[in-house]
Structure 1
Amino acid sequence: MTEAPIGVFDSGFGGLTVAREVLDQLPHESVLYLGDTARTPYGPRPIAQVREFSLECLDRLVEHGVKALVIACNSASAAVLADARERYAVPVVEVIRPAVRRAMAVTRNGKIGVISTAATHQSRAYLDSFVAAPPSVHVASQACPRFVELVEAGVTSGPEVIEVARDYLAPLQERDVDTLILGCTHYPLLTQALQYVLGEQVQLVSSAAATAADLFRVLTDSGLLAAQDNEPVHQWLTTGDPDGFHYLARRFLGPEVEQVHRAFVGRADERLAAQ
């Protein structure tokens, strides 16, 4: 069981930044990644539909024999975390609470900013995760919808990114935040631009890095860490076009993405697979 892969699920490509952190922080672990690119984005969808799609994808990963699940999607984390932990016998890790814990640990003045997609911002998932924080902690949330478009277009630096970042980050700078949570798994690819706009005095917290660190803790506590001599095997699945996924996946993650296979998920896909 310890040599079984870690299942990483995302609605599309952003979760590959989480997979990248898992590969870096847990180099002996195998990863089985599933991106639901045929039905992305999840953000505009009703929460009941996000829950349905997410559980279908997680079910498929569990069928492949994973030893742990990582929900590398903010919308899905907010929609299905409680259900997933009751539904599956393997540990389940998500992206929101690890980032919140990390931000609480590193802030110096108690003023924390969160940037995310419009859907995650509207869900208040990050703000709700600070409910147990002391009164001295103040959290400000900012939706940054254009960031995902820029990243998927391959535009992660340059004047356009800087201009958009200045516009989005200005309200948070006015609040004197000293810590910023990158509350979308696309955003780590914008780290340099965000740090340039904010200045070195602001600590950036990547939900991807925090999630991988939390995964290491969970696997260690559960006795599920792979052996140091384990030779990992990584697999990449998409519900959409494998060629299109492969092109973007190598941009997000790197040369570890070799072959990409089509995964049939959900009732409509199962009918298609049977034809």
Structure 2
Amino acid sequence: MKKSAVKRRDCIGPRRPSPSYSDPPILYPEGEVHLIDRLIKIQNRNFENHKELSVSCPRRATISDVNKMFKWSFNNAIEWASQFDPFQKLTNEAQKCVLSEYGVAFLVIDQGFRTVKSNGCWIMQNGTYLHSDYHYGQAEDVMEADYKCLRNHFEFVTALQIGIQKPFEAMDIDKFEIAALKSLLLVTPSFPKRNIFSDYQERMTALKNKCFTELMDYLSIHYPETHVERFGSLMLILGEIRTAVKMIYNHSKVSDLFDFRKFDPYVRSFLSA
């Protein structure tokens, strides 16, 4: 018999099943490395990607832009959450339940951070914008929207500017604090299904305490006179972000730009979880 005809037995053993979405980033041992410092590197890379893929000339956002920004946000949120081992241990269904809120929170935070010091517009990650005036930036031949549509759009954009943009600007919030907010939103959950991390409660508590400690240490060094007040302000912003997430879901029922039914299947799979 030819040697080439002999089939070797598989000596490797059973393979690891494919992850739910894509291979998550490698988890590095915590050791002496601060968790939020590691996450900032991911955030900086994401911000650079957003910048590289931004429109060359600012323009009014279309439904295609909004769909794309949700996709970016969900992908960024998956990578971020995958740095927390309890998230990786959840079922596919449970992960999507988490991301249905957490991914939208990413959209709110990243757009809010990009909107800081913007004059009158809410800026999306790709540089397109929403203005409280529904028709601002539209071509002249676009059909007029009815009063209810105009009013809903005005209230939506104004609420984002008041609830997110103004607090970010007032604090002159920085990238470390943005990263801390993203982390705390995961480890202090308010997801649609309660007790979603109940099997990993001890680990989630440890991660939450680690995030709180690292944030307070950072504030004590960089804002020694006002670190306690600043910490409190950041906790209030967490509430504003969660309110904005709910507002986006409500707005999707009355908005042409945020009509979830018109988004691609990938985005809808999270929004309907």
| TM-score normalised over the length of structure 2 | 0.31
Pick the structure with more strand per residue: 1
Pick the structure with more helix per residue: 2
State which structure, 1 or 2, has the greater radius of gyration over its C-alpha atoms: 2
| TM-score normalised over the length of structure 1 | 0.31
